Amino acid sequence: MNEQEEAHDGPDRDHRRPAGVDDTTVEALGALSKALETTERARGRLYDFHQMTGTADLQLDRAVRLLEEAGHPEWAAKIRSEILGRNVIPGHWTFQIVEAYNATYYRPFQRLETTAVQELAQGRDHLYEAEMKEERRTSGHPDHVSRLPDPEI
């Protein structure tokens, strides 16, 4: 490894543990981050639910039209009055569920995680993962570099 490579060995400043931050704090912030990532996945599924339910509701238009064309206006009317535009839970369409989730759970969780990283690790995110990367990589191996060289060098 030459001097330039050695200067770029290890994580960048933003991913190095600040002085005074102990192992348990790094682990706790990693667990908090992982929990938020799981919440992000759950939120994505909530958006899937929202979009799929909306798509199904719009697809009912075709079913209603075809039932009318097939001479079953009573069934078309039944679908139109009973299902088309129906609330998915009392008083709520899916967009309202998404809005409530975001306001009540997701955004407060996101703010709390950001504040914890700011206050406990000087805003340095993903310290747990950065340290895991250093433990697992093979120093000097071209496919295991810690980071790319700075562009000004």
For 103-125, the pLDDT digits (tens) are: 999 999 999 999 999 999 999 99
Q: How far is CA 74 from CA 3, 51, 67, 71, in A?
A: 82, 28, 9, 9
**What is the rounded CA–CA span in Å between residue 14 and residue 113?**
17
Is 131 within 8 Å of 17 (Cβ atoms)? yes
**pLDDT band at 147; cut points 50, 70, 90:** confident
Over residues 5-15, mean pLDDT: 69
* pTM passes above 0.85: no
In the predicted model, what is the mean pLDDT of the chain? 90
DSSP for residue 8: T
**pLDDT band at 153; cut points 50, 70, 90:** low
